[in-house]
Amino acid sequence: MADTVSNLFRLWTIARTLGRHDALIPREYLSAIPPSLKLVRRLLGLGRVKGDTGTPGERLARALESLGPAHIKLGQILATRPDIVGAEIAGALEGLQDRLPPFPKADACAAMAASLGRPVAELFASFGEPVAAASIAQVHEAETTEIPPRRVAVKVLRPGIEAEFARDLSALALAARLAERLLPEARRLRVAALIGTLAESTALELDLRMEAAAASELAERTRDDSGFRVPSVDWSRTAARVMTMEWIDGVPVRDVEALRAAGRDPKQVAVTLMRSFLTQTLREGFFHADLHPGNLFVDSEGRLVAVDFGIMGRLDAPMRRFMAETLAGFLARDYMRVAQVHFEAGFVPRHHPVETFAQALRAVGEPIFGRPAREVSMAKLLQQLFETTRRFEMQAQPQLLLLQKTMVVVEGVARGLDPDFDIWEASRPVVERWMLDRMGPEARLREAAEGVGALGRVAQHLPQLLRNAEIVSAMLAGGGLRLHPDTARQIAEAQFARDRGVRVALWLAAGALGVIATIWII
């Protein structure tokens, strides 16, 4: 109960902050809202921030930044969901800034000594001031004590960040559960799953050993990719709150003129970025999900180097196949196949005709073909797809959230390198290669061999399966299946516990709504 009250108080604080920034019920929508909501807007907006101008999306971005790290991360996910927040707000949230003032170097040193169990002087010959600071951690340049010393980047978590995230995520989870109980649209959009995705991704970010492991795994998976590499991890100087990696001397991809001065073709860098991302996604099912310009460099050998592995995405084999076939279908303008892929995956309810869904997909795809590359946007395509799938009751897929976000960011970086970047031509070789590897003749032979192996494993258990079938048949012939009394009792207890849980959940939802209503009335 105490947690529920705490969560409700935090939700009230969040609502007040959004109201003060005129981001909860924006003034632009006043003519379309009932008088009761106008009163709520007036109460929540007391003490409004002066000079808070701009579009509703820009005001929302500033409000989320002021609320702290968990809300910044939520805003970054919402930027990929124009079906929830609308295209204008999603576009504004793409520029959400994940920057905070650095915390003192002395606090970083204390955290390292506590985490690694050794004084900083034993670990590093030199340890500099922070060179970058974000909502979760900051980075320092240092040199190790080996001879010769190695330059490294040391990432240290902010003090108290775990408790701050736990508080806000608990409140947001409560809000999502209430929304899904009260609003059918919230259930369709799976807002609770969205908050769950946020919680899972931040839990990984808050344990720097997990980030180090992600970097190590991606390095192994891309070892043979000539155009892309990952810095090495210094495991002896890495713990839950501290991570040490190889320092990267490279040209930032955001500096186009510096790339040219270094003899690198920005257009080729853009192609390498897109193909590396798609290769990680389709071939490995494991991809860097935070490929913004500050995390990308080009080294002296012309390879693209990524840093900051706090946000990684995974796609299972069925989802990778769904993604590849969808992209291949759009590339081939085979809209019926794209529609069938959605139906085969169970994403679109069967009561919708597949032909009508294919027609809707054609309305999305055809306008982009034959247009100049600079006018074709993956972000806009995703927006139109969201709107189309919403009309056909397609549920949001949590696995695709980070993929959608990263695709939009990668496209933006590529456009910065090459305004005429053709995302489709850059993508085509990777998609076609994956389709050939996974769906060509050799792949079919591999699947057949695996099938034979599976049949062999089933055959090993066939005697037991036959015995079980005989027992079941005998029970049916004797008047039905009979359960052991202990089994029957456990089933009854489980059913009672489940029903009680549902009742308690409903009571909590009703109580929460009552508290919120009381606060609003007051």
Active site residues: 290
**Helix 191-205 with 161-182: angle, nearest 10 deg:** 170
Contact 311, 333 (CB under 8 A): no
User: CA angle, corner 225, sides to 278 and 153, nearest 5?
Assistant: 95
Sheet holding 251-252, edge to edge: 228-229, 304-306, 296-298, 251-252
441: preceding bond cis by omega (within 30 degrees): no
**Helix 378-391 with 401-417: angle, nearest 10 deg:** 150
Residue 128's alpha-carbon distances to 63, 109, 139, 155, 236, in angstroms, are 32, 10, 10, 12, 19
What contacts 24+ positions apart, CB below 8 Å, involve 192-200? 193/396, 193/398, 194/77, 194/81, 194/84, 194/396, 194/398, 194/401, 195/74, 195/169, 196/398, 197/77, 197/398, 197/401, 197/402, 198/70, 198/73, 198/74, 198/77, 198/169, 198/172, 199/169, 199/173
How many residues belong to the chain? Answer: 522
Contacts of 442 (CB under 8 A, 6+ apart): none
Structure tokens at 220: 């192994």
